[in-house]
Amino acid sequence: MEESEKENLFATFKGVIESIVLDKRDNPKNIKVLEDFQAKLNIGLHVEADFYFWVNLIAENGNYTVNRGKLNEFDLEIMATPEDLMYFSNGENSTLNMMLKKNKFRERKLKYEKSSTGKRNLGLLLKLPKILVLDKIKTHQ
């Protein structure tokens, strides 16, 4: 993967995460969830059969930052294709679907690893949809 492709992927991924958080801030019921979620995540974007593009997401005191690379100290590490994460964030793929189904590389759609301290942090994994999944838009008829 060329550097320009990596830059485009990072810019797109960062923009998506930032827009989801902004969208969630518009709904008062999400403010507590956004502020209470404290985590350092490594996210491996599975872009080629044997290549992961690593980004990290740090959530602290309601502030969310996305950067390139892996953190040495982290609470959770997840790996998925960008497409699967997109379908996860728009609510099309559930956590269960992501954990059980295979991606285009014949790996689980969502894989997760222990934290840098050796903890599984399944609770963080289960809270992640509250942060990354967009709220359903109610239509009035």
CATH topology of domain 3-132: Nonspecific Lipid-transfer Protein; Chain A (3.30.1050)
This prediction has a pTM of 0.90
Contact predicate 21/60, CB 8 Å: no
Report domain extents, the chain.
3-132
Contact predicate 24/30, CB 8 Å: yes
Contact predicate 70/54, CB 8 Å: yes
Task: Please return the burial class of 9, using the count of CB atoms within 10 Å of its CB with bins 0-12, 13-18 and 19+.
Answer: middle
What are 1's two structure tokens? Answer: 């993967």
What are 128's two structure tokens? Answer: 């992640």
Q: State mean pLDDT over 23-29.
A: 93
Q: What is the pLDDT of residues 98-130, one digit of tens each?
A: 999 999 999 999 999 999 999 988 899 889 888
